[in-house]
Structure 1
Amino acid sequence: MKKQQKKHVSKAENPQTRSSSTSVENSESIPADLIFEIFSRLTAKSLSRFRCLSKEWASIFSSRVFTHSFVARSCERPRLLFTFHVDGKLFSYSTPQPPRNPDQDLSHVVVDNHITIPTRMGSFLIHRPVRGLLCPGDMWFERGCNDSKMMTIFNPSTGQFKKLPAARTRRGHVRTYLGYDPIKEEYKVLCMSVRRRTYPKFSEEHQVLTLGTGKLSWRMIECSLKRYPEIGGICINGVLYYLAYQNDGFGVGQNFTVICFDVSSEKFKPLEINLTCSSSLINYKGKLGAIQFDQVGFFGGRTTSLGLMVLDDAEQHIWSKKTYVLPPFWKNLGVDAIARLNVVGMTGDSEIVFSPSILSDPFYIFYYDVERNTVVKVRVQGIDFVKNQYIYTFMDYAEDVKSM
């Protein structure tokens, strides 16, 4: 009797079938804008995995509207990025940038491990990210190498990378910078060869490559400012800034100036300023800022003061400057007097962020409040320890899911 009843049960009357059918109908009836909103709240790492599950999803993630919306939302929730290069692989970790409250002691943050990116490039220095992409900044090429004069652009959030064609240069040493034009919505790579082992030092063979234009190729551009460039460029509102020697780079204790490169017009312009080699360029609330110390070379436990210069008017070359006398905090924080710290940037709450240049265990970053003259150290947990490994720390990192 029970078997006979079961035989006459229809699919519509079967609770399990009805539930499954309802689920499918509900998923198909979700408005496209709601699906769009849900996806835009996920991480770039999650989206890179979901891209492989559905052609429709992959199409959504690749659309211009979605990628713009995702980057805009990522800029509103910036992250700290930690990355280093070991044995032909680029390792990267990130964590949401913690909201700093001077009245509360934030003791630690935990990082997420991004996708490890393989690379055939040797050891290289890394520039700060531009809208989620990383670019090597200083490269040497060996004679006779088939991959000579080639470089790669990385997206640490998605694990994607793009090999660029060989730069057109006769030299074995080049400097590269990555910029973004927000008007034309274009990434551009600026490359120049440098003469380092002979004097006078200068740059030559200036060229530009525009990403996302089909077949990639370098274009030679004119540059009358052939001053020897340093590592540490920063792109703010479509203008790329980098440090360069004031003269031929001969001698000790050289002074530096700042060169502006307009990413859209591809024109160079110098700024009238005199900086030391210990200076670091930062984004100060949408303006170019420069931090320099009383100790030439780098910021360390023996540094007693620092100066903050802000470019208020680029056309008139007007800068404002403040000097801060540091408290004797390093000894109390357990920082070695000879430890080398890099300037990561400055928060909107007037805190300068420092990070060690060498990975340690435990690993700390430091927040110096210039208004209160206090410092807080925050432990970063979750980074795989590699002894004596250089590590690069960046703030205001915004993830990007645009396909490379």
Structure 2
Amino acid sequence: MNVVILMKLPPGSIARLHFASKHLSSIILDKKFTELYMTRSSTQSRHLVSVHGGREYVKMQRFHSISQEYPLSSNHDKVSCKLDPYGPYLTYEFAPPVRGLICGRNGTKVKVGNPSTGQFVFLPRVKTIKKNILSVFGYDPVNDVYKVLCMTVVSKRSNISRGVAPCDAMSEEHQVITVGAKQKWRMIECKYPHRHYSGSQGICRDGVMYYLASYKEKSSLMSFDLSSEHFNVTKLPEDDTLQQCGELVNHAGKITIATLQCFGPVDLWVLEDVNKEIWLKAVVVMPPLADRFGLSYKFAFRGILGNGEMILTPITTPNPFFFLCYNPEGGEFRKIVIDDIVHYSDDTIQVFFDHAESYMVL
């Protein structure tokens, strides 16, 4: 079986062939083939829908990989797995996938896996007794490794007794782990005392993790270089809305913070130069959502696809499940209905976009 044939196979099939023979394994594990496959996957990005739930005592994690170009039931790849055989009720909160892999955390439990193959592995428990934890998942291209960054937050007792809460809570512990056999969490130093926003997801781009935080009582963009393992902080523009809320997204290859006002436009703050802290603002005015989809749903901004379409998902989970794609150039919405996702009222659903499938075996 040659490379041309292997390139046409789905990731699950390649993962199984990895164990079929030494010859196939040598091809599949070759870095040139890996990069060739990832390059192709990146040009055929997909939606990834994570559903945790099911009937009582039969809780499962289901992943639906959906073609962005043809989001029909016939183009769905589905994988079901039990993430924690000893805790069927545990729900893992996932960070956005990176190069085909995904990382989920529940408390101090962390799992990394391949949603295309259903293979997941436990990482060592996070070394902390704190509950307010932010975890960010990323890939270090310099050393060709995946890493997880975890931070915990504590509030000073003196502040709690005075009734002063979130503002004075600072990230106390910063830990990183390299995904691989026999790896352990390592404490690292951060020279910028900050409070991460636990409700906001971090993202990884070009070997750097980004997440939103409060630094010197101002909303800021924190970054963590996966190769050097150094932190940095970038000031945000003095904009009242931006200081209060925002969603961190990739947009046209640049780090962008998007804010969606109720019944208003979407403000896109694009980081043009991280060293000079130069931000450019673009405003996208969308037709009123209530006029198109009624008052039954309120929507949240989730990101921007590689083709420029903006993604909005209902805050409450609809049945059948759907989300919206808005094209700013044409001013048109696409309603993507995923009618074969069977879910119950208490199920947890996460949606990720521009997902590149991988056959990687952990």
Number of the residue aligned with 1:79: 46
Query: Could you tell me how far apart the structure 2 residues matched to 1:341 and 1:188 are?
Result: 29
Query: Could you tell me how far apart the structure 1 residues matched to 2:13 and 2:261 are?
Result: 45
| Local SS of the residue matching 2:312 | strand
User: How far is the alpha carbon of 1:282 from its aligned partner?
Assistant: 1.0
Number of the residue aligned with 2:148: 189
* The one of 236, 242, 250 aligned to 2:211: 242
Determine if the alignment matches structure 1 residue 364 to structure 2 residue 322. yes
Does the aligned pair in 2 maintain the 1:84–1:90 contact within 8 Å?
yes
* The one of 83, 96, 117 aligned to 1:118: 83
Number of the residue aligned with 1:257: 220
* The one of 105, 116, 120 aligned to 1:157: 116
Does the aligned pair in 2 maintain the 1:83–1:391 contact within 8 Å?
yes
Does the aligned pair in 1 maintain the 2:192–2:215 contact within 8 Å?
no
What pairs with 1:363-402 in structure 2 (closer than 5 Å)? 363-402=321-360
Does the aligned pair in 2 maintain the 1:168–1:218 contact within 8 Å?
yes
Determine if the alignment matches structure 1 residue 292 to structure 2 residue 259. yes
Number of the residue aligned with 1:308: 268
User: How far is the alpha carbon of 1:361 from its aligned partner?
Assistant: 1.9
| Deviation string, structure 1 residues 42-88 (Cα, Å, up to 9, x no partner) | 11122234445445434433333332222222112111100022265
Q: What's the C-alpha RMSD, in Å, of the aligned pairs?
A: 2.5
What pairs with 1:136-215 in structure 2 (closer than 5 Å)? 136=104, 139-140=106-107, 149-195=108-154, 198=160, 199=165, 200-212=168-180, 214-215=181-182
Residue 108 to residue 355, structure 1, CA distance change in 2 (3 Å): farther
* The one of 89, 95, 107 aligned to 2:60: 89
Larger mean Cα displacement after TM superposition, 267-276 or 74-83: 267-276
Larger mean Cα displacement after TM superposition, 181-190 or 271-280: 271-280
| Local SS of the residue matching 2:117 | coil
Query: Could you tell me how far apart the structure 1 residues matched to 2:211 and 2:328 are?
Result: 25
Does the aligned pair in 2 maintain the 1:110–1:381 contact within 8 Å?
no
Query: Could you tell me how far apart the structure 1 residues matched to 2:289 and 2:72 are?
Result: 16
Does the aligned pair in 1 maintain the 2:310–2:326 contact within 8 Å?
yes
Does the aligned pair in 1 maintain the 2:251–2:308 contact within 8 Å?
no
User: How far is the alpha carbon of 1:118 from its aligned partner?
Assistant: 2.6
Does the aligned pair in 1 maintain the 2:320–2:341 contact within 8 Å?
no
Query: Could you tell me how far apart the structure 1 residues matched to 2:39 and 2:290 are?
Result: 37
Does the aligned pair in 2 maintain the 1:109–1:380 contact within 8 Å?
no
Determine if the alignment matches structure 1 residue 36 to structure 2 residue 3. yes
Query: Could you tell me how far apart the structure 1 residues matched to 2:292 and 2:252 are?
Result: 31
Query: Could you tell me how far apart the structure 2 residues matched to 1:351 and 1:306 are?
Result: 13
Does the aligned pair in 1 maintain the 2:207–2:225 contact within 8 Å?
yes
Structure 2: which amino acid aligns with 1:165? P
| Deviation string, structure 1 residues 275-296 (Cα, Å, up to 9, x no partner) | 345311111121101110224x
| Local SS of the residue matching 2:37 | helix
* The one of 246, 261, 272 aligned to 2:235: 272
| Local SS of the residue matching 2:33 | helix
* The one of 100, 104, 126 aligned to 1:132: 100
Does the aligned pair in 1 maintain the 2:73–2:340 contact within 8 Å?
no
**TM-score normalised per structure 1:** 0.77
**TM-score normalised per structure 2:** 0.85
Query: Could you tell me how far apart the structure 2 residues matched to 1:347 and 1:278 are?
Result: 21
Structure 1: which amino acid aligns with 2:208? V
Larger mean Cα displacement after TM superposition, 201-210 or 41-50: 41-50
| Local SS of the residue matching 1:232 | coil
Residue 54 to residue 384, structure 1, CA distance change in 2 (3 Å): farther
Q: Which has the higher contact order (CA 8 A, sep 6+)?
A: 2
Does the aligned pair in 1 maintain the 2:153–2:195 contact within 8 Å?
yes
**4+ residue runs of structure 1 moved beyond 6 angstroms?**
106-109
User: How far is the alpha carbon of 1:108 from its aligned partner?
Assistant: 8.0
Q: Percent identity?
A: 31
Query: Could you tell me how far apart the structure 2 residues matched to 1:397 and 1:341 are?
Result: 20
Number of the residue aligned with 2:311: 353
Structure 2: which amino acid aligns with 1:158? T
Structure 2: which amino acid aligns with 1:238? G
Does the aligned pair in 1 maintain the 2:51–2:343 contact within 8 Å?
no
User: How far is the alpha carbon of 1:221 from its aligned partner?
Assistant: 0.9
Does the aligned pair in 1 maintain the 2:123–2:179 contact within 8 Å?
no
| Deviation string, structure 1 residues 99-141 (Cα, Å, up to 9, x no partner) | 7xxxxxx89885221242432562232111111111125x43x
**Which runs of 5 or more structure 1 residues have no equivalent in the other structure?**
1-31, 100-105, 141-148, 249-254, 296-302
